[in-house]
């Protein structure tokens, strides 16, 4: 089954996310467990968690994924920011476990002048300090490359895992299409797609990619700019997404949208993804 959904709100209780997902036509989904631009992580109410698990099961919506706050930076050379980031990531991981959500994803962060190699090393070492709960896989998200962010290339993400005391039993990767394209991975052509998958398999391993973010890009290939567009209406285009979501190495992985929330909205993008999906 094609698992496609969108990022939805938990306002009023996390259990309400299931109905919101169904309203946009999704059958898997992504949530925050706190403000995306703050450090506080919402305490999981046991009754609300039970209601969420029950509703998700009854309506066959899943797998779900928790997205970490944007403030997290494990690549930073600043010890105080790293400590705050680790506390927040741990709380978000624990919230995912309490909600029986199998995946948690976050952006590795930026080295802010310390150097890319140092930033990657910092991420790996700090991952080692996390207690990844049983039943949850922590996913590193690839980045577009703007500024001093780390994790732009597959080999960088793989190196973070190699440095960490954890391995691919606890860790994995979530690939974002806008970030891939902005970083210079041109999967819009047959040759480019084949080259990207070959690179992916030689580093991270396709089997260690657990989730996909579907977002078109407002900016050209290699721009290093992270600005999302509706599916098919950006630089990647319809054929690029048709190639991506139907590729044998990727088509069985769950996919969620983080496209603009304007007059088109998520429902339009979910339907577009279904239109581009080849039948089994």
Report residue 191's pLDDT band, with 50, 70 and 90 as the boundaries: very high
pTM above 0.85, yes or no: yes
Share of the chain above pLDDT 90, in %: 96
Mean pLDDT of 259-272: 94
Pairing outcome for strands 216-217 and 228-229: antiparallel
Mean pLDDT of 269-277: 98
Find, among 279, 238, 243, 259, the residue nearest to 26 by Cα.
259
CA distance 160 to 168: 11
pLDDT at 194 over 70: yes
Element (H, E) at 141: strand 137-141
- Answer whether 150's CB lies under 8 Å from 123's CB: yes
Report helix, strand or coil for 104.
strand
Report residue 277's pLDDT band, with 50, 70 and 90 as the boundaries: very high
Question: CA neighbours within 13 Å on the CB side: how many for 61?
Answer: 30
Mean pLDDT of 55-61: 98
**Which of 1-10, 33-42, 196-205 is the least confident region?**
33-42
Residue burial 246-263, b: 16+ Cβ < 10 Å; e: rest: ebeebbebbbbbbbbeee
253: left (phi over 0), alpha (psi -120 to 50) or beta: beta
Residue 279: predicted pLDDT: 81
Report residue 119's pLDDT band, with 50, 70 and 90 as the boundaries: very high
- Answer whether 210's CB lies under 8 Å from 161's CB: no
- The number of residues in the chain equals 280
CATH architecture for the domain at 4-276: Alpha-Beta Barrel (3.20)
Q: What is the DSSP letter of 165?
A: S
CA distance 225 to 181: 9
CA distance 49 to 125: 32
Segment 25-36, tens digit of pLDDT: 999 999 999 988
- Cβ within 8 Å of residue 113, ≥6 positions away: 77, 148
Segment 200-221, tens digit of pLDDT: 999 999 999 999 999 999 999 9
Segment 132-167, tens digit of pLDDT: 999 999 999 999 999 999 999 999 999 999 999 999
Mean pLDDT of 97-107: 98
- The Cα angle at residue 183 between residues 181 and 186, in degrees rounded to 5: 40
Residue 263: predicted pLDDT: 86
Residue burial 79-99, b: 16+ Cβ < 10 Å; e: rest: eebbebbbebbbbbbbbbbbb
Find, among 248, 222, 251, 246, the residue nearest to 235 by Cα.
222
- Boundaries of every domain in the chain: 4-276
pLDDT at 280 over 80: no
């Amino acid at each position: 089954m094609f698992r496609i959904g969108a990022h939805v709100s938990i306002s009023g209780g996390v259990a309400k996310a299931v109905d919101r997902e169904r309203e946009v036509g999704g059958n898997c989904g992504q949530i925050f467990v706190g403000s995306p631009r703050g450090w506080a992580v919402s305490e999981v109410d046991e009754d609300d968690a039970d209601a969420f698990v029950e509703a998700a099961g009854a309506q066959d919506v899943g797998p779900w994924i928790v997205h970490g706050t944007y403030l997290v930076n494990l690549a930073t050379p600043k010890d105080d920011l790293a400590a705050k980031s680790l506390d927040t990531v741990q709380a978000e991981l624990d919230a995912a476990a309490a909600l029986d959500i199998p995946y948690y994803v976050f952006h590795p962060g930026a080295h802010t002048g310390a150097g890319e190699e140092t930033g990657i090393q910092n991420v790996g070492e700090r991952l080692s300090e996390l207690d990844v709960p049983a039943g949850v896989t922590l996913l590193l998200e690839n980045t577009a490359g703007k500024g001093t962010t780390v994790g732009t290339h597959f080999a960088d993400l793989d190196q973070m895992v190699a440095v960490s005391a954890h391995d691919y039993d606890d860790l994995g990767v979530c690939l974002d299409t806008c970030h891939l394209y902005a970083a210079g991975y041109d999967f819009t052509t047959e040759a480019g797609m084949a080259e990207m998958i070959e690179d992916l398999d030689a580093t991270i391993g396709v089997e260690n990619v657990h989730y996909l973010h579907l977002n078109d890009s407002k900016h050209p290939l290699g721009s290093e700019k992270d600005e999302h567009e509706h599916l098919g209406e950006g630089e990647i285009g319809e054929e690029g997404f048709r190639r991506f979501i139907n590729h044998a190495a990727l088509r069985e992985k769950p996919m969620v949208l983080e496209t603009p929330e304007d007059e088109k909205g998520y429902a339009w993008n979910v339907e577009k993804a279904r239109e581009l999906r080849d039948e089994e």
